[in-house]
Each structure stands twice: as structure tokens, then as C-alpha cells.
Amino acid sequence: MAKPLVIVTRRLPDVIETRMMELFDCRLNLDDKPMSQAELLEAVKTAEILVPTVTDRIDAAILSQAGPKLRLIASFGTGVDHIDLKTARQRGITVTNTPGVLTEDTADMTMALLLAVPRRLAEGVRLVRSGEWGGWSPTGMLGHRIWGKRLGIIGMGRIGQAVARRARGFGLSIHYHNRRRVAEEVEQELEATYWESLDQMLARMDMVSVNCPHTPATFHLLSARRLKLMRPDAYIVNTSRGEVIDENALARLLASGELAGAGLDVFEHEPAINPKLLKLDNVVLLPHMGSATIEGRIAMGEKVIINIKTFVDGHTPPDRVLEAMF
């Protein structure tokens, strides 16, 4: 059988690209620059299998131009908000993702931010590098301990549960809001309290972690109104998607002291960063690196290869996406 034509939109780990070249008729992106709209259009017109990443917007306009041979979009990433799933289904195009392999990496980064923000780590680094640090003092760089505080997790899927397990080790009590309540044994393991009302949970938490996917239902889930429900001494961390939070409202509340601080690994219009956030000292800003480990990226690539091979062999891929859920 002829090898399927696979077009990859970005550079992947060398070991993954090498294996793809062995298995498929593969076109790689050697420059690692995001494809333009025109290049994406050309890719969907000619590819049998497209391997995009979470920054490639595969919307209805792109999919409407897809050639008759395109039957699989094997996305390199967990989130699928960049793909118009409805249009893909209408055109008979299967969509897969790479769930599970990034859980521990993203949970690690979430925990790092939950520690870094209240303990003012980024401010401390800037002070040392500025050359203005005058040495230890009893009142210097005072932050807040997290032991004994309440953590509210928005989205209790794989990553949310992994965050909860870590947070318990740091003495945080676990609360969560989810579209569906998790199994009783999971609640018991995590000693987690379920809140059907997100509003009620937000008003009572010391720290909030956003771990839900971006869907139409979660766009600006943390709106200006909801953010104002949080206490002025509360902290918020987002390692999910920037669109879940009203970024302008968040910046205003942080600047006015109505929120104590934030740790953000994702942004509403990334790679553009809201200039209001850049001016604030009580925010830790990271370049969407929550899942950026060598081990994680290789595991993602291996899942992409398995999904493609399974599909080409005439079977349902293990990571077929049916719907985006929160």
C-alpha cells in the first residue's frame, strides 16, 4: 500500500519526525514557523492526514477548502478548541488528540505557580537581578503561606485531579467545580468538596486554579462579575486556556488590589500579552510552557503516530475526539 501523505505544521522532536518519515509520506516544517492561512489552506487541500498543533486554527473557513483525500486531523496536543469539530464531522474528517500524556507536566507547572505567586518568587528574582537587594530583613519580601488554605479547582478532569493530589501534599484543602460531579471514590481519595455553584465556590477560596478546556461554554467563564466575587486576598492560577478568563477584568482587579495575585501560563490573545498585565508586579507570566518537557513532547508524538497508524489500518483511533466537554 502507498504511504499516506502526512503534513506536519510545526517542528516536532527529532525522534518523532524520524519515525514519521519512516512510516508515512511525510512533509515536515523545517523552519518551525507557524503556517500562514494560505499555507494551511494548501495543506488541507493536498494532505490525506494533517498534523496541526494547538496554535493552528483549523476553522470552518479552512475546512471548507479541504480536499477529498483529507480524512484525519491528528492534532499534536490535548485541547481541540482550535479545530471546528462540527465542520470536520460534516465533512467526514476524523479528529484525534493526545490526552493524558501532559497531565503530570501541566499539574507540576500549576503547583509551581500556586507556590510562586503568594511567595512572590518572580518579584524576588527581579530584586536580586536588579542589584538593589540590601540583604535579609525581618519584613523583607513578605508573602503568604499556602499551608491550610482552600484551593478551588475549576475543571476536575485528569489535570485537575493531578493538581489536587499535589496540593494536598502542601496542606491545601481541595474544593472543585465541574460540569459533572466526579466519582465518590475520587472525592474520598482527594478529600474534595464539590460545589455545584461556581459563584459560591469562588467567594470562599483562598486560591483558584483553572484547569478546564476552552469551549463555547467556558469562554470568559471567569467573567468580570465572577472575578469580583473572589476575595481581595485570593490568588488565581491559569494553566488551561487564556480565553477562560476575562483578561482585561483580571488586570483591572489585580491593579486595584481587589485580587492579591495571579500566575498565568496562557493568555487570551497569545502570543500577544495584555500590556496591563506586563506592568504588574503581583503577576507571574510564563510563555505557555506548562506541558513543555522533553518526555511529554515525545509522548505526544508517539500518540499522534499511533492514532495515524490505527486509522490507516482501518480501525478507530484510540484518541478520537467526539466532543469538547467541560
Terminal CA-CA length for the chain: 40
**What pLDDT, in 10s, does the model give residues 214-224?**
888 999 999 99
Half-sphere exposure of 75 (CA within 13 A, CB side): 26
List, in sequence order, the alpha helices (H) in 230-274.
Answer: 247-256
127, pLDDT greater than 70: yes
Give the lowest-confidence range in 163-177, 268-282, 310-324: 310-324
**What pLDDT, in 10s, does the model give residues 176-203?**
999 999 999 999 999 999 999 999 999 9
325, pLDDT greater than 70: no
Q: What pLDDT shows up at residue 323?
A: 64
32 pLDDT band, cuts 50/70/90, is: confident
| Residues catalogued as catalytic | 241, 270, 288
Between the CA of residue 8 and those of 5, 13, 29, 170, what are the distances in Å? 10, 12, 6, 41
User: What would the mean pLDDT of 304-311 be, rounded to a whole number?
Assistant: 98
Distance of CA 131 to the CA centre of its chain: 35
User: What would the mean pLDDT of 44-49 be, rounded to a whole number?
Assistant: 97
- List, as one string, the DSSP characters of 109-132: HHHHHHHHTTTTHHHHHHHHHHT-
Burial class (CB in 10 A: 0-12, 13-18, 19+), 236: buried
Domains and CATH numbers, the chain: 5-101+293-312 (3.40.50.720), 103-285 (3.40.50.720)
67, pLDDT greater than 80: yes
Give the neighbor-by-neighbor strand order of the sheet with 25-27: 25-27, 5-8, 49-51, 72-74, 94-96
How far is the C-alpha of 171 from the C-alpha of 134, rounded, in Å? 32
266 pLDDT band, cuts 50/70/90, is: very high
Q: In the numeric block, which cell numbers belong to residue 188?
A: 474520598
What value does the mean pLDDT of the chain take? Answer: 96
Q: What angle do CA 74, 23, 100 make, to 5 degrees?
A: 40
**What pLDDT, in 10s, does the model give residues 128-151?**
999 999 999 999 999 999 999 999
Q: What pLDDT shows up at residue 1?
A: 59
160 pLDDT band, cuts 50/70/90, is: very high
CB 52 within 8 A of CB 82: yes
